[in-house]
Each structure stands twice: as structure tokens, then as C-alpha cells.
Structure 1
Amino acid sequence: MGNYLYEALEQKYPVIGIAKNEFNSPDFMRRSIYRGESRTPLFLTAIGIDVDEIKPKVEGMHGAFRIPSLLKKLDQLTRI
């Protein structure tokens, strides 16, 4: 889905995906992130930007648990 969005935006803006469940994407575009004391990773993908550039930024996001605080709040707000 991220690739379709990237193309729809005429490749002008990078698209970053963070998922709780693994999905099929090329290995060069996907990284696993372990946050806090969780043994379950988050799955990070990116197009239009190097995924290795994004990984430390996601790892350093606020929150002591697996899901960064901002993403948890965003998920809650989009379910309303």
C-alpha cells in the first residue's frame, strides 16, 4: 500500500510504514525493531528514503514500550 501512495504522490514524499504484524516486502526495504523490553518486533518499511536512516529515529521515539507513544495515540484517534 505504501508503494501505491508513494506513486500517487508522484514520488515527491517518502512513505514510512510501521506495523505490528509482519507482512511481505523486499528485505532491502524492511527492518525489525525491538523497543523497550519487548521480545516482539515492530516492522519498519520505507520507500523514497533509506530505511536504515529511519530505523534509529523510530527506535528513539518516546515511550517505554513496544509501540511508541505517538503511534499508540494516533492508532487510538483513527479508530474513533
Structure 2
Amino acid sequence: MILAIDVHYKGALAKVVGAFFEPKAAKAVQYITTNINGVDEYVPGEFYKRELPCILKLLEKVELGKLDAIIIDGNVFINNNGDFGLGGRLWESIDHKVAVIGVAKSLFKNTEDKVIEIQRGKSEKHLFVSSIGIDLAAAASLIHNMHGEYRLPSILKEVDRLTKEA
């Protein structure tokens, strides 16, 4: 089972949505949500400080032992040296219990050695996949083969949409 997580912010309020699904599935088996008040403001270069507490709050509702991977909207690494971005910090926070796959819409400068670029559907825009706790090629293949004919897999699009609902 895989869990895809996304967070949306409105001021100091965050809505976090998670979707449990099997690889290649068109729809999630289950969705979970949580709302958080008093979220820290975004600080350039420290995105994880805002997003990680939100993701961890949602994960309080999850049995990590039943997951094969967690997919986040972001990067596992922030450079080719292997310094952690949001995904790496999440992996540390959950004591390396579950693999983390980052799916980003833009390439983080100096991370070329830590990502695989994939194209989905007819989109000319790439997705940038990074991972920890799972082979990078396997993570990229998983994202590439997820259901949906567009750049973003169907389930990731749906999680994003649900975070924006009131």
C-alpha cells in the first residue's frame, strides 16, 4: 500500500490530505485528512519547517508498518551532496520505517544526480522523482506507471484537488 500526501495552505491554516492506494490503481482505497491551525510562515530555503509538521500530524492516523512507500509533493534531497529536503527529513522523522518518494514539478538546482526526470502522457513538461529507502529507478518507474494520461498521475491530482476544497 502506498500513501500519497499533499498540503495546502490558507494563511496560518493547513489542510493535509492522504490517499491510500495500490500501484497502477485509478482510485484511492481511502482518503484521510487533517486541518492544522497556526502553521508557521514559509521561510525561503526552509520549506520543510512548514510542511513536515503537517505531514507528521497526518501520519499520526497511519499504521506505518502497512505502507510500502509515502509519496510527497517535493524533493527528497536539496543537492547532489545528499543534503535532505522535505522527503529526507520525513524519512528521518519516521525512523526510516517507510520509503519516501518525492515528486517535484521543477528541478532543484544541483540535484541532477539525485533525481530521475520522467515524462507522462503527452506533456512536454517533466516530473522530477527522488527517493530514499527505495531504489531511485524503481521509484521513478512506480510514478511513471501510475494511472492517468496526464503529467501528474490521477491520484496525485486528486489529492492536490482535495487539499484545496473547503
Compute the TM-score of the two structures, normalised by the length of structure 2.
0.45
**Match of residue 45 from structure 1:** 130
RMSD: 1.5
Cα offsets for 1:22-65 (capped at 9, x unmatched): 22464443110101111110111101111101112211111111
- Within 5 Å, which residues of 2 pair with 1:1-80? 1-24=86-109, 26-80=111-165
Structure having the larger proportion of residues in strand: 2
Q: How many residues align structurally?
A: 80
Consecutive unaligned residues in structure 2, runs of 5 or more? 1-85
| Bigger radius of gyration among the two | 2
Consecutive unaligned residues in structure 1, runs of 5 or more? none
Q: Which has the higher contact order (CA 8 A, sep 6+)?
A: 1
Compute the TM-score of the two structures, normalised by the length of structure 1.
0.88
Q: Which runs of 4+ in 1 moved over 6 A?
A: none
Structure having the larger proportion of residues in helix: 1
Equivalent position amino acid for 1:8 in 2: S
